[in-house]
């Protein structure tokens, strides 16, 4: 059984469907990369799993099972117990994820005071330990500083320390390095990998960067227009993609046209207007997810793409 | 032959009584039809450099020459003429187009100022041709920017930059706001336009992979200075400055088969503040090769490829 199992998750934003049946799973200790462009639904998927969707976005179908228990049917009280302690999240923009008027030590310790009933002094002590664990130099002094006194990379370390405070089994990181320079991105990716190994924590890494995926992921779920279009082991996927969208991304080829508006999705397969493999069936029938033995792809021609040398 | 020449460009800003050393002595030559890639991390001065080249900022010291003429010593009349030759494509396609103007008015606006380029009766036709050239439809001229996607908006910005048939276009992070499948489209368009019009580009970007695809030569900037320069092959395949090596090593390689086989160079810390750059070599505080000499004596670019006291030997 997987640690986290998302099945046929559907999310709507008023009349607009933003997730139309997302299925993915996460095993203990593994790194799953969720790859997609803006509007593909990768952040909404993470928010739905965390139970922090912004209204008017609502879950309209499917389930999110954590250790076999469907989180979507839990009362908010129970949900809150899972949030942070079992599944925690790191956001893209560490500056707006941190409160500018409290010291970083106060913010890292806040959850420990409220959830674990630690005293101020104990919480501060633990905050220093956590800052050490995310390799912030001079943690004992810096615990008293404010977010603006930290550089971008150090701020992201602070928000990682906050997420780790209750020792979660799953960490969801939503584009954690997108706002950072490339040399700092490398440091943060290394850190996430080390923390995952040290804590045997599962990592769901949301990204738009194929290089990042290749560097850190065990498995990958590729999203397009609110669906997972391909899911595979990272080595398999880079060797031979099974979905034409993945294939085009890997080749670095220009994909004609633009990602569709979720308000006005193309009929049939949402990718068909941009696809080199598109045939009549693609314009009328939405493809179901084809099981390809340990991997899957939502394409009528997945088996053909998989063996097409031109797709690599 | 040199089309665009930067000679010892320096730009300091006074901020709350302190001096920000944004650009601190940058020189290069750009030939017609050539692309110079400028890479570096945030705060290295690459956007300020773009503004200096466009004469949108006055340098603290140094000169910019276009076809041999000093752009900071030109009379207004000549400067007006210069604007035709040097154009710019901006980073953000959402804020760089006036939402209240039609696409036709945006792309045709340069003709209002440079009336002799396009006689009145010709404008509509020229605008439509430009839109067609950048992959938009001629009838898009009557629509407004908000009706277009990010990639299409960037095409509008490119059409506007091309209207006066410039010789050189300064591109400041022209695709970094775009989705990955769209970035390749715009980069291909820029390459295609270069071939068609013999354009020269200064292509400023933090994405090293993109620069490699488009540039002929590369300048690597760190804290206001060019630390290494050379052809794309030289800089990417045989980097000699420690910073260039670290920067290239930090770029994630999109091939999981190479994972663990490459020994990455990891820099510690982040770029120091440009208000108080380190003495001597500015990179020394993050450099694993730094010696006492590096703190006291500033390395110069000179005739070598890298501004470093201990560069990798040229192979």
pLDDT 10s digits, A4-55: 999 999 999 989 999 999 999 999 999 999 999 888 999 999 999 999 999 8
pLDDT for B133 equals 93
Cβ distance of A258 and B254 shorter than 8 Å? no
Cβ distance of A210 and B270 shorter than 8 Å? no
Substitution target in B181, B270, B287 with the highest count of A β-carbons within 10 Å is B181
Cβ distance of B256 and A217 shorter than 8 Å? yes
pLDDT for B315 equals 66
> Does residue A252 contact residue A241 with C-beta atoms inside 8 Å?
no
- Domain containing A268: what range? 236-311
Q: Which residues pair with B15 in a beta bridge?
A: B18
Alpha carbon of A190: minimum distance to chain B alpha carbons (Å): 10
* Nearest-CB residue to A37 (from B180, B188, B246): B180
Residue A302 lies in a domain: yes
How high is the ipTM of this complex? 0.83
Residue A29 lies in a domain: no
A-to-B residue pairs, Cβ atoms closer than 8 angstroms: 96
Residue A190 lies in a domain: no
Using an 8 Å CB-CB cutoff, list chain A residues near B247: 182-183
Substitution target in A194, A208, A254 with the highest count of B β-carbons within 10 Å is A254
Q: How far is CA A271 from CA A279, A298, B11, B180, in A?
A: 12, 10, 48, 15
B111-137 burial: b if 16+ Cβ within 10 Å, else e: beeeeeebeeeebeebbbebbebbbbe
E strand residue ranges, B94-167: none
DSSP three-state, residue B29:
strand
Where residue B130 falls among pLDDT bands split at 50, 70, 90? Answer: very high
Q: Which residues pair with B64 in a beta bridge?
A: B6
Whether the CB of B49 is below 8 Å from some CB of chain A: the reply is no
Residue A292 lies in a domain: yes
The tens digit of pLDDT for each residue in B206-236 reads 889 899 999 999 999 999 999 999 999 999 9
Please count the structural domains in chain A: 1
Angstrom distance (rounded) from CA A53 to CA A44: 7
Angstrom distance (rounded) from CA A225 to CA A45: 12
For residue A121, count other CB atoms closer than 10 A to its CB: 9
pLDDT for B50 equals 95
Residue A134 lies in a domain: no
Q: Any residues with CB less than 8 A from the CB of B55 and at least 6 apart, and which?
A: B64, B71, B72, B79, B82
> Does residue B301 contact residue B222 with C-beta atoms inside 8 Å?
no
CA quadruple B212, B218, B224, B227: dihedral, nearest 10: 110
Residue A8 lies in a domain: no
For residue A283, count other CB atoms closer than 10 A to its CB: 13
Using an 8 Å CB-CB cutoff, list chain B residues near A255: 181-182, 184-185
Where residue B276 falls among pLDDT bands split at 50, 70, 90? Answer: confident
Where residue B23 falls among pLDDT bands split at 50, 70, 90? Answer: very high
Angstrom distance (rounded) from CA A205 to CA A190: 13
For chain A, 312 residues long, the average pLDDT of each consecutive 10-residue run is 93 93 94 93 95 92 95 92 94 89 96 94 96 93 94 93 95 92 90 92 95 94 96 95 94 83 91 94 95 95 92 78
Residue A170 lies in a domain: no
> Does residue A30 contact residue A36 with C-beta atoms inside 8 Å?
no
Residue A52 lies in a domain: no
């Amino acid at each position: 059984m997987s640690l986290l199992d998302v099945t046929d998750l559907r999310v709507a934003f008023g009349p607009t469907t933003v997730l139309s049946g997302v299925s993915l799973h996460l095993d203990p200790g593994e790194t799953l990369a969720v790859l997609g462009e803006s509007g593909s639904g990768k952040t909404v998927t993470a928010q739905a799993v965390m139970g922090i969707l912004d209204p008017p976005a609502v879950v309209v179908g499917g389930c999110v099972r954590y250790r076999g228990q469907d989180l979507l049917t839990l009362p908010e009280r129970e949900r809150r117990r899972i949030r942070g302690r079992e599944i925690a999240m790191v956001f893209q923009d560490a500056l707006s994820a941190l409160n500018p008027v409290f010291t970083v030590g106060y913010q890292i310790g806040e959850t420990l005071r409220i959830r674990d009933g630690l005293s101020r002094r104990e919480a501060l002590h633990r905050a220093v330990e956590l800052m050490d664990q995310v390799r912030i130099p001079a943690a004992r002094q810096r615990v008293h500083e404010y977010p603006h006194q930290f550089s971008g990379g150090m701020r992201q370390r602070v928000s990682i320390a906050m997420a780790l405070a209750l020792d979660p089994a799953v960490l969801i990181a939503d584009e954690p390095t997108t706002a950072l320079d490339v040399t700092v991105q490398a440091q943060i990716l290394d850190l996430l990998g080390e923390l995952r190994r040290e804590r045997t924590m599962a990592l769901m890494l949301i990204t738009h960067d194929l290089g990042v995926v290749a560097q850190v992921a065990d498995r990958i779920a590729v999203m397009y227009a609110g669906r997972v279009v391909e899911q595979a082991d990272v080595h398999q996927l880079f060797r031979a993609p099974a979905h034409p969208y993945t294939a085009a991304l890997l080749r670095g080829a220009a994909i004609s046209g633009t990602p569709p508006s979720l308000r006005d999705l193309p009929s049939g397969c949402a990718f068909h207007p941009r696809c080199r493999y598109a045939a009549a069936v693609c314009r009328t029938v939405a493809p179901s997810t084809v099981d390809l033995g340990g991997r899957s792809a939502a394409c009528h021609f997945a088996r053909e793409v998989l063996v097409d040398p031109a797709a690599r | 032959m040199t089309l665009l020449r930067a000679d010892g460009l320096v730009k300091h800003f006074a901020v709350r009584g302190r001096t920000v050393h944004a650009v601190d002595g940058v020189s290069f030559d750009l030939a017609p039809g050539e692309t110079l890639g400028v890479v570096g991390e945030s705060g290295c001065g690459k956007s300020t450099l773009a503004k200096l080249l466009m004469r949108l900022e006055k340098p603290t010291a140094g000169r910019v020459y276009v076809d041999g003429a000093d752009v900071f010593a030109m009379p207004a009349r000549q400067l007006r003429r210069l604007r035709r030759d040097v154009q710019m494509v901006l980073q953000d396609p959402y804020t760089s187009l006036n939402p209240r103007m039609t696409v036709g008015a945006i792309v045709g606006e340069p003709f209002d100022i440079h009336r002799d380029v396009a006689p009145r009766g010709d404008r509509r036709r020229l605008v439509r041709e430009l839109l067609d050239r950048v992959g938009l439809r001629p009838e898009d001229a009557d629509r407004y920017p908000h009706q277009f996607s990010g990639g299409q908006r960037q095409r509008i910005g490119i059409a506007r930059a091309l209207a006066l048939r410039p010789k050189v276009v300064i591109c400041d992070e022209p695709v970094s706001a775009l989705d990955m499948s769209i970035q390749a489209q715009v980069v291909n368009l820029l390459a295609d336009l270069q071939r068609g019009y013999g354009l020269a580009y200064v292509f400023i970007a933090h994405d090293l992979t993109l620069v490699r695809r488009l540039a002929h030569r590369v300048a690597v900037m760190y804290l206001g200075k060019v630390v290494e320069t050379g052809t794309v092959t030289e800089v990417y395949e045989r980097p000699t400055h420690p910073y260039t090596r670290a920067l290239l090593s930090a770029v994630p390689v999109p091939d999981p088969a190479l994972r663990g086989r490459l020994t990455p160079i990891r820099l510690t810390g982040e770029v120091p503040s440009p208000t108080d750059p380190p003495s001597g070599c500015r990179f020394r505080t993050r450099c694993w090769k730094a010696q006492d000499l590096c703190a006291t004596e500033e390395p110069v670019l000179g005739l070598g490829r890298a501004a470093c006291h201990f560069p990798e030997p040229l192979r």
